[in-house]
């Protein structure tokens, strides 16, 4: 016996018709529901996804025109443009059939019907609905995949011991579905790690969705991540898939996860635990299957200790942690990265720049790069644009004073607490007490800096 498939909604004002259709279809389809009053259609469509709607053409207004059926056809398609609607009427003729199809109906059945023919019509309509759903998903995913492939070419490179450790971890975990948390300062390449994990995963032929959580207002959080139905709120002009739904089958990268409010953390945890989303304005749960990769530049473990980030959510997202070192801790990679970016931007701006002079490379290597690889990339791009020669010199690079190394950090002790206190004091003095600037120079979050200041009585 073949498995039942499809959900069918029958709308007819004749109770005998409803009973007969339910009796005929109950052993053939997964679910069948009936309505004697078409006014209940919107609520039924809100409660479930119907593969086929069998719709009477005449209810109470008149006997044979079928206008009520056409009115409800229009309303149904406004709610769900992909709805599959089959008209049923005792007063069918060729003219109505043609008008029904042109108006968006899938087929036309006359009363009294032949059971075999009606079942064939229902089965083909269910298959049509499934095909429409798959087509919509494929088109959406193709748009997202194209967006990934259209990203500017940027290699994730490095030969330092620190980066070799990162590459080794990526190789070990990429082919799994383990949740990955990427930690590192701004500009260290956290999204590049996420994309490397994706491209080496078993989901590489599926979609990769990147979401900057820091840029999503709390009021739009559910709509963006979980989707919404048409009319769910004032600006919801049409139904919209959320990022989780679009990413189903593929990989979802949630950047800046440390910026989530407690309420947003709770909602995200619920979705991850249940592996299903419910669109805003709906009560239907939609199953999802995503590999989740997250990233933050926050000291997220300290935020857990301070009660600012949920520990149970952290457990869900960091099966494996990847720590990206700042560029100042892998200075051996600076020449490799600089040459890499030089080749990219020389081609982009059609410049015949052969190399970076040794003096200029020493200047780059002595700089601490508070903005990390991103700052180096922008510095090379600017130098290429402004240069008139065939080699980049020291004068082609204008570097921020905050990243220049000096000899003022000299210590008369090897005690780590004393060294930390001295460094914080000097950086606070340099930044004239600007906590945001000082925390950025030190590679800390404001919270972590405040905690260390309190520890040292500063």
Could you give the angle at the alpha carbon of 377 between the alpha carbons of 373 and 380, nearest 5°? 135
HSE (side-chain half, CA atoms, 13 Å) at 302: 14
pLDDT digit string, tens, across residues 311-364 = 999 999 999 999 999 999 999 999 999 999 999 999 988 888 989 999 899 999
Residue 144, φ and ψ in degrees, nearest 5: -70, -40
CATH topology of domain 416-456: Arc Repressor Mutant, subunit A (1.10.10)
> E strand or H helix at 252, and its extent?
strand 251-255
Is 171 strand, coil or helix? helix
Give the model's pLDDT for residue 310: 96
* The pLDDT of residue 57 is above 60: yes
The answer to whether residues 57 and 68 touch, using CB atoms and an 8 Å cutoff, is yes
Please state the domain extents for the chain.
7-132, 151-323, 329-403, 416-456
State the residue for tokens 């070990």.
172
Direct distance between the N- and C-terminal alpha carbons of the chain, in angstroms, rounded to an integer: 77
Band of residue 65 on the pLDDT scale cut at 50, 70, 90: low
pLDDT tens digit sequence for 127-145: 888 888 887 777 766 665 5
Q: What is the mean pLDDT of residues 273-295?
A: 93
At residue 93, does pLDDT exceed 70?
Answer: no
Fold of domain 7-132: Rossmann fold (3.40.50)
Average pLDDT, the chain: 85
Q: Is the pLDDT of residue 299 over 80?
A: yes
Q: Which of 66-75, 221-230, 347-356, 407-416 has the lowest mean pLDDT?
A: 407-416
Predicted confidence (pLDDT) at residue 407 exceeds the cutoff of 70: no
**Can you tell me the distance from the alpha carbon of 433 to that of 435, in angstroms, rounded to the nearest whole number?**
6
- pLDDT beyond 50 at 151: no
Which structure tokens are listed for 386? 């402004």
Cα–Cα dist 265/54, whole Å: 43
CB 242 within 8 A of CB 284: no
* Measured distance CA(76)–CA(68) in Å, rounded: 12
Backbone angles phi, psi at 254, to 5 degrees: -105, 100
Could you say which architecture CATH assigns to the domain 151-323? 3-Layer(aba) Sandwich (3.40)
Whole-number Å distance between alpha carbons of 198 and 318:
16
Convert the pLDDT of each residue in 209-255 to its tens digit.
999 998 888 888 999 999 998 888 888 888 889 999 999 999 999 99
Beta partners for residue 212, in sequence order? 255
pLDDT above 80 for 424: yes
**pTM beyond cutoff 0.75:** no
Three-state DSSP string of 67-81: HHHHHHHHHHHHHCC
Q: Is the pLDDT of residue 83 over 80?
A: yes
pLDDT at 403: 55
Measure the CA–CA gap between 137 and 140, rounded to whole angstroms: 5
Digit-coded pLDDT (tens) for 95-130? 676 777 777 888 888 778 888 888 888 989 898 888
CA distances from 186 to 7, 198, 438, 445 (A): 49, 21, 15, 11
Helix (H, G, I), strand (E, B) or coil at 278: strand
* Domain 329-403 class in CATH: mainly alpha
Higher pLDDT, 100 or 292: 292
| Beta carbons within 8 Å of 141's beta carbon, 6+ residues apart | 206, 207, 246, 249, 250
On the question of a common fold for 7-132 and 151-323, the answer reads yes
């Amino acid at each position: 016996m073949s498995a039942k498939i499809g959900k069918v909604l029958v709308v007819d004002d004749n109770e005998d018709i409803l009973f007969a259709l339910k009796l005929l279809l109950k052993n053939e389809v997964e679910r069948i529901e009936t309505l004697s009053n078409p006014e209940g259609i919107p609520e039924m469509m809100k409660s479930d996804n119907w593969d086929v709607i069998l719709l009477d053409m005449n209810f109470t207004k008149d006997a044979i025109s079928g206008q009520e059926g056409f009115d409800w056809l229009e309303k149904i398609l406004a709610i769900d443009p992909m709805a599959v609607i089959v008209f049923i009427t005792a007063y069918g003729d060729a003219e109505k059939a043609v008008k029904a199809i042109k108006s968006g109906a899938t087929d036309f059945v006359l009363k009294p019907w032949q059971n075999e023919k009606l079942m064939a019509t229902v089965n083909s309509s269910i298959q049509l609905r499934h095909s429409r759903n798959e087509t919509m998903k494929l088109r959406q995913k193709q748009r997202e995949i194209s967006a990934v492939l259209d990203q500017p070419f940027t290699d994730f490179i490095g030969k330092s011991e620190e980066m070799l450790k990162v590459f080794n971890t990526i190789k070990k975990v990429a082919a799994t579905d383990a949740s990955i948390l990427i930690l590192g300062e701004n500009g260290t390449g956290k999204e590049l790690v996420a994309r490397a994990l994706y491209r080496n995963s078993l989901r590489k032929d599926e979609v990769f969705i990147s979401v900057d959580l820091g840029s999503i207002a709390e009021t739009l959080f559910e709509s963006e991540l979980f989707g919404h139905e048409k009319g769910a709120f004032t600006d919801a002009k049409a139904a919209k898939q959320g990022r989780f739904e679009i990413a189903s089958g593929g990989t979802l990268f949630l950047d800046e996860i440390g910026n989530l409010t407690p309420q947003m953390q709770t909602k995200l945890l619920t979705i991850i635990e249940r592996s299903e989303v419910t669109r805003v304005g709906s009560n239907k749960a939609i199953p999802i299957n995503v590999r989740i990769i997250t990233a933050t530049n926050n000291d997220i473990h300290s935020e857990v200790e301070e009660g600012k980030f949920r520990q149970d959510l952290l457990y869900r997202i960091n099966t494996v942690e990847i720590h990206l070192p700042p560029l100042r801790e892998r200075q051996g990679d600076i020449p490799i990265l600089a040459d890499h970016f030089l080749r990219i931007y020389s081609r982009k701006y059609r410049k015949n720049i052969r190399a970076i002079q040794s003096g200029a490379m020493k200047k780059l290597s002595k700089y601490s790069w508070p903005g990390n690889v991103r700052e180096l990339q922008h510095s090379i791009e600017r130098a290429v644009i402004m240069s008139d020669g065939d080699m980049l010199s020291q004068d082609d690079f204008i570097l921020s004073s905050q990243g220049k190394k000096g000899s003022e950090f000299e210590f008369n002790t090897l005690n780590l607490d004393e060294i930390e206190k001295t460094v914080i004091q000097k950086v606070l003095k340099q930044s004239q007490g600007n906590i945001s600037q000082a925390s950025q120079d030190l590679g800390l979050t404001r919270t972590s800096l405040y905690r260390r200041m309190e520890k040292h009585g500063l």
